[in-house]
Structure formats: structure tokens, C-alpha cells
Amino acid sequence: MKTDSCPLCMREQPIFFYQSNRVNLVRDFLQCTNCQLVFVPSRFHLSAAQQKYRYLEHNNDPMDSGYRDFLSRLMAPLLPLLKEGDTGLDFGCGPGPALAEMLKESGYEMDLYDPLFQDNDSTLKNTYDFVTCTETIEHFIHPASDFVLLDSVVKNGGVVGIMTSILYEEVLFEDWYYKLDPTHVSFYTPSTMEWISDHFNWIIKSTHKNLYFFIKQGL
């Protein structure tokens, strides 16, 4: 079986982790022995058009109370880390940028970026006091370059807030719902998040279940 190098740290020779043989979702999962990322090899990835179709099936209505409650898991611990007048970017906002709307309602100026729904290159030329990234990094096909891009839009001393389902040690992967979405191709262990922190010089400010808040220190 052909193996790919790790798409995050580029270490070669990842190890076999799991194989899914579900109807309409046959794909392999590999794990990097360096950063501990679990990932789906590129030969199993959906096309951009297929990904977009899948995302549009989600209920991402910015006015939906259930969706707002879900996003408040990140927003509530984020707000104490921000200052009045801070500007933010919702990175990977999707078709319904609810979190950005919620932060605007709290008095923060927000910009949007999403490669499929808000592909605005001018946004990526700016830097921000804080960047939110909710239910996004699991979709990163090229996490090495995607995290470099994310890092480039955060000011030194700025906050990066990430929400994704973390592959904790106690998770039974075979039964884990998160692997069933065909657009989910990168899965992060706590060790992976530590690697990201060390590599980008992002200090882990706080963690909650499936949440990480970093402070960018700069090089």
C-alpha cells in the first residue's frame, strides 16, 4: 500500500492507523509518528465541488439558536482574552458565518475568509488581533500550508481560537462519529496541538474540551 508523507510536519513513512469499509466511505487513515496527526491520504479526498456540496447540506444559519449555542462554546472563553477595539477574522467561516455575526453583536469588527465561500485574497493581506477557526482544521487538505496561512494573518500577541473534535486517547476511533464525514481528513491529537504550538511559537493559553486558545509569540 502506498503511503503519503505527513501533510502537517512532512515526516515520511506514516504508519497504518485504520481502514473504513463503510458503504460509500471506503478510505484509509494513517498516523504520523512525529506530530501524531491522523490523516486520510490524498487519493481518498473529495473534489472541491464535492466538498462544497457537502458543506451546503449543513444547517449553518447564523440566526439558528442551536447553531449559536454550539458556537458559544468557543465564543464564551474567547471573549475574556480580547480587548475593546480588537479586530478579528473568521477563518473558514463557511456559507453561514454565524460566529462572526455573534462577535459583531458583541462589538468586534470581523472579516471573513473561506476558500470555497469567502475567497477574498485582500483579507489575507491583513493581520488581526484574533482569529477564530471553528470546525475547520479537520477539513485541511494541506495543513502545513494552511497553518502557515493562518499564522500569517495573526498579529504578534494575537489570539488564535480553534474548535475541532480532538482525538483524545480515550476516543475509540472505530466508533468515533467524526471520522464519518468524508470532508474530514485531518484529525488532531493533543500531541499534534502541542506540535503546532511549538512549530509556530503559539503559546497554549488555555484548553477546554475540543477547544484550544493560543497566543502568537512571533519569531
CATH number reported for the structural domain that contains residue 95 in this entry: 3.40.50.150
Q: What is the pLDDT along the chain (219 residues), one digit of tens a residue?
A: 445 899 999 999 999 999 999 888 999 999 999 999 999 999 999 998 998 888 877 666 777 888 899 999 999 999 999 999 999 999 999 888 999 999 999 999 999 999 989 888 889 999 999 999 999 999 999 999 999 999 999 999 999 999 999 999 999 999 999 999 999 999 999 999 999 999 999 999 999 999 999 999 966
Domain membership of residue 89 (yes or no) is: yes
The 3-class secondary structure across the chain, one letter per residue, is CCCCCCCCCCCCCCEEEEEEEECCEEEEEEECCCCCCEECCHHHCCCHHHHHHHHHCCCCCCCCHHHHHHHHHHHHHHHHHCCCCCEEEEECCCCCCHHHHHHHHCCCEEEEEECCCECCHHHHHCCEEEEEEECCHHHCCCHHHHHHHHHHCEEEEEEEEEECCCCCCCCCHHHCHHHHCCCCCEECCHHHHHHHHHHHCEEEEEEECCEEEEEECCC
Domain membership of residue 5 (yes or no) is: no
Domain membership of residue 8 (yes or no) is: no
Range of the domain at 120: 15-216
Domain membership of residue 10 (yes or no) is: no
Domain membership of residue 51 (yes or no) is: yes
User: The whole model's pTM is what?
Assistant: 0.93
Domain membership of residue 19 (yes or no) is: yes
Domain membership of residue 6 (yes or no) is: no
- How many structural domains is the chain composed of? 1
Domain membership of residue 149 (yes or no) is: yes
